[in-house]
């Protein structure tokens, strides 16, 4: 299916050739369960959850999380990949296992390349340990080869990726310090641009004739994101999709976020994905591990969306509407971040899970009402 492959799980393409060598008309058939083209979830902790005995249930039936999410309208899985982490923690073997399971559940795959041995975000883009002594040209070649080989591994397994994030929350570049854009003496874009372009070229080289869409991911959708993307374009850095992070307790109200999305879509004429999002269904914390949001004052829309199971469901219902109304149908969809990351699995060795109150399952593994917001039914389920 060539370049159409990334849409495979959720659209049908009808091609009509008007005459040889002339116009081809294209009709997108959207899924009957959603106005959005992507309703996704990042479930990268799944194997670690299962290893400690955590399980999730839907209406009392224990099932693999990707099956529960698929049954409730999720059609894309976002899979995190680190270069050389602790075994079983977002390494390539784990990512390929998750990709096979997602494909078997009828999902497409968004591959999230961090280009680090651990978490990479707007505050940290640490070089993989094995790449630390490389010069700039060697690093570019390594990024190209790594990206090519990873994407090729997914294709050879029969689970080709539909979308690839070249870096995670790269608002200040990636692979620091070679690819850092904001330096003490001013801005420097050449390193980031060259490394990013090497990653994109590697992704396309490894795709086996089914090139995925390229997504560039920022940590916000505000004015800073608009400035960032303008410089990305000015430096010849290709991308098909704009990915943004949105957590209300960090990024502000849903109304403000809506305005930002509309500005980005209009200015850049690109499709947008909310690459990760979440909302609390409770504010208390596990003993010894403060939740990432634990004060109602941190929730800008707290009167609309209470920190309860019902408030969490209402948030996702309204987020859907915000994305659906992005101009020119540029709102592709969103990814729930780690809906099944229950207590018991650390973020990294020695680092507790501060996000357990953002899950779509209670701490006993029972599905919460927010599950229904993914594929709204006639009647919402009661709170467990």
Catalytic residues: 169, 276
Exposure letters 339-368 (e unless 16+ CB within 10 A, then b):
bbbbbebebeeeebbbbbbbbbbbeebbbb
Sign of the Cα torsion 47, 53, 54, 55 reads positive
User: Are 45 and 361 in contact, with CB atoms under 8 Å apart?
Assistant: no
DSSP one-letter string for 270-296: -EEEEEEE---S----BTTB--S---G
**CA-wise closest residue to 99 among 77, 69, 119:** 77
Q: Which helix (H) or strand (E) holds 110?
A: strand 108-113
**CA-wise closest residue to 160 among 171, 151, 150:** 151
| Separation between Cα atoms, residue 47 and residue 90, nearest integer Å | 9
| Separation between Cα atoms, residue 194 and residue 179, nearest integer Å | 8
Other Cβ atoms closer than 10 A to 104: 13
Six token digits for residue 347: 């973020």
């Amino acid at each position: 299916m060539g370049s159409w492959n990334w849409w495979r799980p959720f659209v049908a393409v009808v091609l009509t050739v008007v005459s040889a060598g002339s116009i081809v008309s294209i009709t997108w058939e959207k899924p009957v369960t959603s106005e959005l083209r992507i309703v996704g979830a990042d479930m990268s902790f799944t194997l670690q959850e299962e290893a400690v005995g955590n399980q999730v249930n839907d209406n009392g039936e224990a099932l693999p999380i990707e099956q529960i999410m698929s049954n409730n309208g999720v059609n894309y899985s976002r899979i995190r990949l680190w270069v050389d982490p602790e075994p079983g923690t977002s390494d390539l073997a784990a990512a390929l296992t998750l990709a096979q399971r997602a494909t078997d559940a009828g999902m497409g795959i968004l591959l999230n390349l961090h280009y680090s041995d651990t978490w990479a975000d707007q505050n940290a883009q640490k070089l993989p340990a094995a790449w630390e002594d490389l010069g700039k040209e060697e690093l570019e070649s390594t990024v190209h080869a790594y990206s090519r080989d990873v994407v090729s591994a997914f294709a050879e397994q029969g689970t080709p990726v539909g979308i690839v994030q070249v870096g995670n929350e790269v608002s200040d570049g990636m692979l620091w310090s070679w690819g850092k854009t904001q330096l003490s003496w001013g801005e420097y874009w050449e390193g980031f641009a060259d490394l990013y372009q090497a990653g994109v070229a590697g992704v396309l080289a490894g795709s086996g004739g089914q090139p995925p869409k390229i997504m560039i991911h920022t940590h916000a959708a505000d004015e800073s994101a608009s400035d960032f993307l303008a410089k990305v374009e000015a430096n010849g850095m290709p991308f098909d999709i704009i990915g943004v992070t949105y957590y209300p307790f960090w990024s502000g109200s849903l109304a403000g976020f809506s305005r930002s999305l509309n500005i980005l879509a209009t200015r850049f004429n690109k499709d947008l994905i909310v690459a990760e999002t979440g909302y609390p269904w409770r504010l208390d914390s596990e003993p010894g591990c403060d939740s990432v949001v634990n004060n109602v004052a941190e929730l800008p829309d707290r009167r609309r969306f209470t920190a309860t199971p019902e408030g969490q469901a209402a948030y996702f219902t309204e987020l859907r509407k915000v994305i659906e109304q992005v101009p020119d149908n540029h709102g592709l969809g969103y990814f729930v971040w780690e809906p099944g990351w229950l207590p018991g699995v650390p973020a990294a060795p020695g680092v507790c899970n501060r996000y357990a109150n953002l899950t779509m399952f209670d701490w006993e593994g029972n599905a919460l009402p927010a599950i229904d917001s993914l594929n709204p039914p006639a009647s919402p389920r009661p709170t467990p």
